[in-house]
Structure 1
Amino acid sequence: VEGWEPELIISNNDFSQDYSAALEGLKTPINPPRDLGWHIRRKSDFFKNYNRLAGEFAEIIGEPNWTFSVATEVFEGFDVNSEESREKLAQRTDAALQFIRDQYRERGIEGHPHAFIKNNSGTYGLGVVQVSSGDDVRSWSYKARKKMKAAKGGGSISEVIIQEGVPTTLKQDDATAEPALYMVGCQLAGGFLRTHDKKGPEESLNSPGAVYKRLCVSDLAINISGCPMENVYGWIAKLGFLAIGLEARDKNINSGRTTPLLEPC
C-alpha cells in the first residue's frame, strides 16, 4: 500500500462467499481468517463445541448444565419447496419443542417455549424464522418460504438448525435489547447493544429497524445481586471464543497468528 507492506489485515468481511481467487497469492495473514468465513462454517459446529464447553464450565462452578447451553439440532436435506421436507421439519420441530417444554416444567420456568429455524450456514439475519409449533412450519406463507429459500449472497438453503429461543430480559430506552461483545485475545474489548423498539423479548432483533448502541466494558461493572455483568457477559463471550478456537482446530485452519487460537483465557 503506497510502498508500505502491512503485517496483518483485520477483516470485517463475513466471507459468505469464498473470495479465494481475489486473495490468491496474498501472503499477509488475515484475521479473522477467510477459512472461518460463512462459505465454510456451520452454526451447528459452533454450538456443538459451545454447548460442550458450557457444560464443562457449569460443572466447574456448580451450576446446572442448562444455565449456559442452547438446545440445537441439525436438519439435513432441507428443501423449502418440498412438502415432504417441510413435514419432516415440522415433526422434528414438534419434538424439539417438546424437549424444551419438558425442561421448562422441570426447571419451573413459566412461559411457552419457542424455537428459531435457521440456515445452518450464513449470517446477516437471513434464513431465520421463528416457530412455536410444527404447525407453524406446515402453514408457512409464501413470504416465509421465500425467506427460507436463499441465503446471503444468493446461495440456496439445504440444511437448517432448530434452535431453542432464549428470551432476552434487557431493555434500553424502552426498546428490547441484546448484547454482543468483542474480544481481543482473551480480553473483553467492549461491544454493542442491538435494540429494537418494534420487537418483543422472544423475537429476533437482527432485523430491519434494529438500532445499535455502544457498549463499553465499564458499562458492565454494574453489580446485580453481587454479580457484576462483566462476569456474566464476559464468561459467555470467552466460552464462545474458545468454541470458535475448537472449530478452527477441528477444520485445521491456520489463522496466521504467532500465538495459538486456543491460548489460555
Structure 2
Amino acid sequence: MPVPHLATALTGPLLELERRILEAQPRIEHWFRSEWHNHATPFYGSVDLRNSGFKLAPVDMNLFPGGFNNLNPDFLPLAVQAAMSGVEKVCPEARSMLLIPENHTRNTFYLQNVASLVHIFEQAGLNVRLGTLNPEISVPTELTAANGAVLTLEPVRREGDRLRLADGFDPCIVLLNNDLSGGIPDTLSGLEQNLLPPLHAGWAVRRKSNHFEAYDKVCNEFAGLLDIDPWTINPMFSACRGLDFQSRQGEETLADTVSTLLERIRVKYREHDIKEEPFVIVKADAGTYGMGVMSVKRPEDVIGLNRKARNKMSVVKEGLEVSEVIVQEGVHTFETVNEAVAEPVVYMMDRYVVGGFYRVHTGRGIDENLNAPGMHFVPLSFESVCLPDRKGSPDCPPNRFYAYGVIARLALLAASLELEATDPDFN
C-alpha cells in the first residue's frame, strides 16, 4: 500500500521537519533511551496524530486503546515482542493474565480488538482469560466478534486483595482494556496483583489538559534537540471549567477562551506564513470515543448552542456529564486515502511502536473530528517495521512512518510524566 498522499505538495515545512527527524535519528533514539531510564513506560497506548503539511502533532492519547484488530497483521511479531518486554518489567514470572474489557459487549468490532489482544498475549506466553465487571453477566458467557472469533467472558470475584474467576483462576497480571469512564469500582481498588494501567490512568481521574501540559515539557526539550519551533509538533490549548451545557452556564467564559486561543494561533500562522483559516476543537477534558467534540472557528459559535449541540456536548461515554473541556488548537489534516480525509493513529506497547492505521472519513472535512460514525480504517503499511531509511527521501513510506512514530512516542513519554504527577501513592 503506498503512503496515503498529502493534498499539499510536500516541499514545505513538513518535509523540512521530516528531514530533521531523519538526520537526528541516532540522537533521538539515544534521547528516548535516556528518558525511559528515568520514567516508567505506560503499558500500552494509542495516539491520534494530525498532519497539516506545516504541522505534525498529537491531538489525543488513549491509555486503554481499542482497535488492535485494525493493525497490519504482518507485524504481529512486533506486538508480541513488545508485550513480552512490558510483561517482563512488571512480573518476570507471569504465567497468566486476566483481561478486563469494556462493558459494551454488543460492539462486535470492539470484541475483535479484544480477540486480537488475547492472541498477542497468548503468543507472548501467557494464559489469558477474560473477566468482566458488567453486573449483567453473572455466568460465563460466549460472545462473537465481527470476524467470527468466539470469546468467553467470565464474571470476576474479589477474594481478599486478589481478583479470581469462579474456578480459582488467579492471574499474575490484571490488564484493563476498560477506561473507567464510569468511575473506579471498589472491586479494582487495592489489589495486590499487578493492575495495568494504574487506576489513575482511567477517565475517572485523568484529564486531557494534564496530558498536554506534560506534552508541553517533553516537546520543548525535544524541539531543543532538533532546533525546531516546538509549535510545529505541539497543539496549543487551554482548559475551561465550571460549564453546564444544558443550562448554558459558562458560555461566555468558553467563548473568551476560544477567542484568546484563536488569536494566539493567528499570530503563529502569520509568523509561519500560513494562509489557512485557524480553528479550535472543544472537547470533554475526560472521555473518549470522539464524544463531546465540536470544531469551532469563531467565539460566537459556542454561544446559544441549539438543543442537539448541547445534548452532544453535555454527556459522554457511561453518561459522564461534561463540566470541564479542553479547548485545543485545531490541526488541519491534509492527508487523504482514496481522496477521503484521513489521520494516522499510532499504537504502542511498552516503549515500542507496534503499528497503526489511518482513520478515514468520507463525510468529514480537513478541519473536523474524524472519530465519528461513518469512519473506517486502513492499516499503515510499515514496509520496514517503522525503521527509517536514511538513504531514502524524507517523505518515503518508512521515513514518513518513522516521523509518526517519533511524535507518538513523545506523547507516550508525556503520558508517563502525566501518570507520575497524578499517582496518588507519590503525591
Q: What TM-score comes out, normalization by structure 1 length? A: 0.88
Once residues 151 and 131 of structure 1 are traced to their aligned partners in structure 2, the CA distance between those partners, rounded to angstroms, is 19
Q: What is aligned with 1:134?
A: 299
Once residues 103 and 25 of structure 1 are traced to their aligned partners in structure 2, the CA distance between those partners, rounded to angstroms, is 47
Q: What is aligned with 1:66?
A: 231
Q: What is aligned with 2:186?
A: 21
2:206 maps to amino acid:
R
8 Å contact from structure 1 (residues 86, 137) kept in 2: yes
8 Å contact from structure 2 (residues 248, 304) kept in 1: no
1:182-208: CA deviations, max 9, x gaps?
112221101222111111121100011
Q: CA offset at residue 27 of structure 1?
A: 3.0
Identity of aligned residues (%): 36
Report how many residues are paired: 254
Q: What is aligned with 2:372?
A: 207
Which residues of 2 match residues 152-231 of structure 1 at below 5 A? 152-218=317-383, 220=386, 225-227=393-395, 228-231=399-402
Q: 2:264 aligns with which of 99, 103, 110?
A: 99
2:208 maps to amino acid:
K
Q: What is aligned with 1:7?
A: 172
8 Å contact from structure 1 (residues 58, 67) kept in 2: no
- Secondary structure at the aligned position of 1:55 is classed as helix
Once residues 408 and 424 of structure 2 are traced to their aligned partners in structure 1, the CA distance between those partners, rounded to angstroms, is 21
8 Å contact from structure 2 (residues 182, 320) kept in 1: no
Once residues 152 and 179 of structure 1 are traced to their aligned partners in structure 2, the CA distance between those partners, rounded to angstroms, is 23
Once residues 182 and 8 of structure 1 are traced to their aligned partners in structure 2, the CA distance between those partners, rounded to angstroms, is 21
1:236 is the counterpart of 2:407 = yes
Once residues 38 and 201 of structure 1 are traced to their aligned partners in structure 2, the CA distance between those partners, rounded to angstroms, is 28
8 Å contact from structure 2 (residues 295, 367) kept in 1: no
1:238 maps to amino acid:
R
8 Å contact from structure 2 (residues 174, 195) kept in 1: yes
Unaligned runs of 5+ in 2: 1-164
Q: What is aligned with 1:47?
A: 212
Q: What is aligned with 2:418?
A: 247
Once residues 381 and 229 of structure 2 are traced to their aligned partners in structure 1, the CA distance between those partners, rounded to angstroms, is 29
Once residues 304 and 328 of structure 2 are traced to their aligned partners in structure 1, the CA distance between those partners, rounded to angstroms, is 19
2:338 maps to amino acid:
D
Q: CA offset at residue 36 of structure 1?
A: 0.4
8 Å contact from structure 1 (residues 221, 229) kept in 2: no
Q: Cα distance 1:63–1:25, how it changes in 2: closer, same or farther (>3 A)?
A: closer
8 Å contact from structure 2 (residues 291, 316) kept in 1: yes
Q: What is aligned with 1:262?
A: none
Q: CA offset at residue 24 of structure 1?
A: 4.6
- Which one has a bigger Cα radius of gyration? 2
Q: CA offset at residue 9 of structure 1?
A: 2.7
Q: CA offset at residue 78 of structure 1?
A: 1.2
1:116 maps to amino acid:
I
Q: What TM-score comes out, normalization by structure 2 length? A: 0.56
